[in-house]
Structure formats: C-alpha cells, structure tokens
C-alpha cells in the first residue's frame, strides 16, 4: 500500500514539477469546482481554497447591493455550516472506535524487522517532533494562554490527525476546535486550518526532508557545515510552498527537497516501510501548527483566546 502511495505521489509531483511558474499559478485557478472537490488534480486543494475566497468576496459585494440576496446567502452558508458541524459531531462521537480499529491495523500490518532496523530514525523523528511541539507550546505560553488547557482542548483533534495521517481530513475538526474550544474568530480559524493543511507543514515539509538531507549528505561526500545548513533551511522553506496542493505530505516534500540539494531520492523508498509510524506524529504536528497559527493571529489582532491567563486573572 505504501509503495503504491509513493508511486502516486511521484506521478502527482511530476505533473506539477514539469509546469513553469506561470502554468503553476494558472493551475491554482479552479476549472471545475466539483471536480476539484474530489481532489482530481494535484493543485485541487488550493483551487478549492481560492474558490472559497472568491465566493466570499462575491457574496459580500452582492450583500452590499441587495440586502435580501445577502440574507439568503448568509442563511445558506449558516445552514450548510450547521449541517457540516453536525457531521463533525457524529465523527467525533465515533472517533474512539475508529482510532482503535486504525491503530490495530497499523500495528498488524507494519513490518517488525524494518521497524527494528530503522528504530534509530524513528526515535530521532519523534524527538524532533516533540521538540517542535515544545516550540509551539512556548509560543502559546508567551502569548499568555494556558498551555495545559490548550492541549486538553485540542487533544481529540491531534489524536484524529495522528491516526488518520491526513491534515486535510482533519480540517473540519481543526476549525471546530479553534472556534468552539479556543474561541478563535471563525474567519481566522477557517483560513489557518485550510492553508495550514497545505502550506508550511512543520512535520511533513520541515522536519522530514531536512532529516533525510542530513542523513544522505555524508554518503555523497557533502560536509554538514554552516553553508549546507543555510541552503537546506532555504530550500525546505521554499519547498514547503512548492508542494502546496500536491497530496502526499512528507514523501512528496522529500522528493522536492532532495533533488534540489543534488541528492538521490532512493532513501525515500528505503523508509517506506516505517512511513506510517512516523507520518502519524508528523500529521499531528502539522495540525497543531495550523491551530497555533490561528491563536497567534488572534492574539496579534488584540483578541482573547480561551484559557487566556491574563483574562482569567481579571475575572472576579
């Protein structure tokens, strides 16, 4: 299954890599929104986000011209959101059973010998991910929010992301947690969750390709010096935008970063056997990064979030 997934990722990456900058920008424009909703193209996710932005702008303009039409549009959007949130509630209620089934499947189908052979890489990956979670927690704490309260509120979302290994599938839960649990304004929650699932992923587009590059560098005679680190940071940062809208996360990011550094991509195939074990934690980190972004944006705009220690201290 993972090998087939890697082949699909390589095909989708190639479909985007062959495009010029102008063609890539044009591919972001939605051609058929219903087709893009099925993830038919490599850039479908960004196309859907762009359509949503354009639809929102058009709705605002119509509202200004005709209040009756504006009220109908708002009623439609509100009703649709209510239905979707009800579906999310159903999913959340069934999540414990799904988590049990998916965890059982992952453990039963993973290659034990490969896990033992590459256990050092697995441990190193989880340490790096834990450090990044710590960075997120530090940022949240510096903004005056209660870190323990924060993780208690987002834990179900992170658990869902951990098991499903899909930032996109977690978007509704991410939005719901920000709005209902953390009191992040809906517009900020929607944007941070949508873009956070495809751009600037800390785990998949940041940590993973960087670790692979550091592993491969000594084998091809490249010294890990300051110049190498600076180049790697720049390429990883740019690559986190370059893979936006191309499904596959970490594997696809590695297929972008390693060739850009002049390294072979064979190491990606060697790690396919343990990919599910690491990808679960990376996905949870990606989602946590998106939620953290929503909180940071809210605080910079002068709004308070749930668990704000300064607000709690001010209460009688």
Which structural domains are found in the chain, ordered by start? 2-93+109-314 (1.10.3860.10)
DSSP string, 26-70: HHTS-S-HHHHTTT-STTHHHHHHHHHHHHHHHHHHHHHH-HHHH
**pLDDT(127) > 90:** yes
Phi-psi region of 302 (alpha: psi -120 to 50; beta: other; left: phi over 0): left
**pLDDT(158) > 60:** yes
Rounded-to-integer distance, Cα 50 and Cα 44, Å:
10
- Kindly give, in sequence order, each residue whose CB lies less than 8 Å from that of residue 144, ignoring residues fewer than 6 positions away: 299, 308, 309, 310
**pLDDT(280) > 70:** yes
No. of helices (H) and no. of strands (E), the chain: 16, 0
Mean pLDDT of 116-129: 83
Q: pLDDT at position 244, please?
A: 47
Mean pLDDT of 184-191: 89
**pLDDT(10) > 80:** no
Q: pLDDT at position 132, please?
A: 93
pTM score, two decimals? 0.65
Q: Which helix (H) or strand (E) holds 234?
A: helix 226-242
**pLDDT(210) > 70:** yes
pLDDT digits (tens, 9 = 90+) for 45-84: 677 778 888 888 888 898 888 888 888 888 888 898 788 7
Core vs surface per residue 270-300: b (16+ CB within 10 A) or e: ebbbbbbbbbbbbbbbbbbbbbbbbbbbbbe
The lowest-confidence range among 76-90, 127-141, 176-190 is: 76-90
Q: pLDDT at position 8, please?
A: 58
Label residue 138 by pLDDT band (50, 70, 90).
very high
Label residue 27 by pLDDT band (50, 70, 90).
confident
Top pLDDT among 197 and 228 is at 228
**pLDDT(275) > 60:** yes
**pLDDT(22) > 70:** yes
Mean pLDDT of 111-134: 81
pLDDT digits (tens, 9 = 90+) for 91-117: 667 766 766 776 576 567 666 665 566
Rounded-to-integer distance, Cα 42 and Cα 37, Å:
12
Structural contact between residues 95 and 160, judged by C-beta atoms closer than 8 angstroms: yes
Tell me the sheet residues that pair with 145: 308
Mean pLDDT of 238-267: 68
- Across the chain, mean pLDDT equals 78
**pLDDT(309) > 60:** no
């Amino acid at each position: 299954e993972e090998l087939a997934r890697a082949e699909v990722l390589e095909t989708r990456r190639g479909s985007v890599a062959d495009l010029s900058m102008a063609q890539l920008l044009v591919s972001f424009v939605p051609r058929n929104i219903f087709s893009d909703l099925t993830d038919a193209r490599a850039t479908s996710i960004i196309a859907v986000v762009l359509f949503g932005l354009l639809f929102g702008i058009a709705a605002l303009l119509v509202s200004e011209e005709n209040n009756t039409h504006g009220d109908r549009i708002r009623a439609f959007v509100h009703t649709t959101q209510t239905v979707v949130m009800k579906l999310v509630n159903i999913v959340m209620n069934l999540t414990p059973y799904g988590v049990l089934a998916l965890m059982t499947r992952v453990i039963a189908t993973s290659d034990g010998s490969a896990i033992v052979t590459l256990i050092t890489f697995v441990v190193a990956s989880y340490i790096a991910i834990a450090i990044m979670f710590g960075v997120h927690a530090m940022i949240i704490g510096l903004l005056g929010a209660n870190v323990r309260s924060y993780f208690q509120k987002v834990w179900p979302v992170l658990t869902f992301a951990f098991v499903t290994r899909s930032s996109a599938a977690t978007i509704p839960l991410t939005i719901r947690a920000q709005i209902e649990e953390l009191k992040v304004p809906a517009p900020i929650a929607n944007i941070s969750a949508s873009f956070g699932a495809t751009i600037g992923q800390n785990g998949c587009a940041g940590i993973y390709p960087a670790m692979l590059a550091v592993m491969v560098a000594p084998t091809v005679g490249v010294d890990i010096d300051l110049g190498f680190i600076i180049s790697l940071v720049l390429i990883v940062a740019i690559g986190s935008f370059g893979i936006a809208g191309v499904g596959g996360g970490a594997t696809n990011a590695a297929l972008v970063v390693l060739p850009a550094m002049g390294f072979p991509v064979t190491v990606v195939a060697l790690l396919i056997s343990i990919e599910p074990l690491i990808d679960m934690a990376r996905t949870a980190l990606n989602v946590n990064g998106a939620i953290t972004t929503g909180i940071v944006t809210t605080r910079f705009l002068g709004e308070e979030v749930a668990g704000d220690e300064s607000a709690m201290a001010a209460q009688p």
